[in-house]
Amino acid sequence: MAGWRVFLAARLHPAAADLLASAPDVAQVTAEPDLSPDALAARLAQGYHALIVRSKPRVTADLLAAASDLRVVGRAGVGVDNIDLDAARARRVTVVNAPAATTDAVAEHTLALLFAVARGIAAADASLKAGRWDKKRFLGFELAGRTLGLVGVGRIGAAVAHRAAALGMTVLGYDPYLPPETLRARGVEPVADLDALLARADVVSVHVPLTPETRGLLGPAAFAQMKDGAVVLSTARGGVVDEDALLAALESGKVRGAGLDVFAHEPPGATPLVTHPRVVATPHIAAQTEEAQERVARDIAQEVLAALRGEPLRWRVV
Ligand code: MLT
């Protein structure tokens, strides 16, 4: 069938709309980011076959019910926690994502946060800009010789491992979905369980999706298992790290510093965690590079087209 109608409900690199609009079987590409849930439902009810989102908007059961012609939802990025996958499955709506495009960007940002925490970069910059010369205040620590513990050793975890090894770090990993030989092939020493990782890691970095299983994975019990003075990094999804538990661990000194790009509620506002002097926080920008955003736009446009055409899919979620 020709005449596909595709709705872009998020701001994407123009490569997505260009690629879709040049497809001979696509009749219409509509880009309207930032609609309210009701307005989006009303638009999708006008006969759209494909919807492309980022981490917003939420694709709820109600939205899918309103969009009766919808055949595919494309997530321009990795995390699909904003999409009701059960409702999509029940309605036979295919869900695809673009998980490979942002790997390098997120891995680099993870390291950027780690360097920033280790050397107090944000605070030192703010101090100098305020006219001070606080040289003695900023005593950092080196990464070489330290142990990094990766919670999740998928694409991004593996890319972080590769970079951390080049810095002279020992890299441990815990991933119950991968066999130990896969971790070893990714340059990561496998550990038996999360506690074993937390007991040895100087830096704990989270690279898992948000699921019922991972929500609160780093909670009070996990912080209690960590080494004194550990550093915590999260560029995965808000909610995996229990923010109250992290704040308590920062205040007690159990955790020396944290680098956070994702939050349970986004935007989080100037919370005690975000404004904590030993936290470096960024507004969910790990995947926000020119290169990654162009790749992700192309990847999701191609994948959505393949789904509409009934072709084999590279990244089918549902
Ligand atoms: C992702 O899941 O791809 C990243 O968190 C980036 C994003 O959602 O913008």
Nearest CA to ligand 1 atom 3: 77
Mean pLDDT, residues 54-76: 97
Q: 252-307: per-residue pLDDT in tens?
A: 999 999 999 999 999 999 999 999 999 999 999 999 999 999 999 999 999 999 99
Ligand 1 center to 145 CA (angstroms): 31
In angstroms, the CA 189 to CA 88 distance is 38
Q: 181-212: per-residue pLDDT in tens?
A: 999 999 999 999 999 999 999 999 999 999 99
Ligand 1 center to 13 CA (angstroms): 14
Please report, as a single letter, which amino acid is at residue 176.
P
Ligand 1 center to 1 CA (angstroms): 32
Pocket probe for ligand 1: among 102, 106, 266, 300, the residue whose CB has the most ligand atoms within 8 Å is 102
CA-CA distances (angstroms) from residue 225 to 194, 217, 220, 233?
A: 9, 12, 9, 16
Mean pLDDT, residues 210-220: 97
Contact 188, 169 (CB under 8 A): no
Quote the pTM value: 0.95
> Is 290 an active-site residue?
no
Mean pLDDT for all residues in the chain: 98
Pocket probe for ligand 1: among 12, 58, 78, 285, the residue whose CB has the most ligand atoms within 8 Å is 78
Strand partners, 174: 151
Ligand 1 center to 135 CA (angstroms): 37
Burial 258-278 (b: 16+ CB within 10 A, else e): bbbbbbbeeebeeeebbebee
Ligand 1 center to 183 CA (angstroms): 24
Q: 93-143: per-residue pLDDT in tens?
A: 999 999 999 999 999 999 999 999 999 999 999 999 999 999 999 999 999
Alpha carbons within 13 angstroms on the beta-carbon side of residue 22 total: 9
Please report, as a single letter, which amino acid is at residue 31.
A
Contact 70, 278 (CB under 8 A): no
Does the pLDDT of residue 48 top 60, yes or no?
yes
> Is 13 an active-site residue?
no
pLDDT of residue 246: 98
Pick the CATH number of 4-101+291-309 from 3.40.1190.20, 3.40.50.1100, 3.40.50.1220, 3.40.50.720: 3.40.50.720
In angstroms, the CA 258 to CA 233 distance is 6
Strand partners, 280: 259
- The verdict on the CB of residue 54 being under 6 Å from ligand 1 is yes
> Which atom of ligand 1 approaches the CA of 296 most closely?
3
Work out whether strand 147-151 and strand 4-8 pair parallel, antiparallel, or are unpaired.
Answer: unpaired
pLDDT of residue 2: 76
In angstroms, the CA 104 to CA 296 distance is 12
What are the residue ranges of CATH 3.40.50.720 in the chain? 4-101+291-309, 103-281
Q: Measured at the alpha carbon of residue 143, what is the angle toward residues 244 and 247, in degrees to the nearest 5?
A: 10
- The verdict on the CB of residue 55 being under 6 Å from ligand 1 is yes
Among the listed residues 162, 278, 284, 316, the single catalytic one is: 284
Does the pLDDT of residue 63 top 90, yes or no?
yes
Q: How confident is the model at residue 236 (pLDDT cuts 50, 70, 90)?
A: very high
In angstroms, the CA 100 to CA 315 distance is 9
Does the pLDDT of residue 1 top 70, yes or no?
no
Among the listed residues 43, 71, 237, 256, the single catalytic one is: 237
DSSP string, 193-252: SHHHHHHH-SEEEE-----TTTTTSBSHHHHHHSPTTEEEEE-S-TTSB-HHHHHHHHHH
- The verdict on the CB of residue 79 being under 6 Å from ligand 1 is yes
Compute the radius of gyration of the chain from its Cα atoms. 21
Does the pLDDT of residue 22 top 60, yes or no?
yes
CATH topology of domain 103-281: Rossmann fold (3.40.50)
> Is 237 an active-site residue?
yes
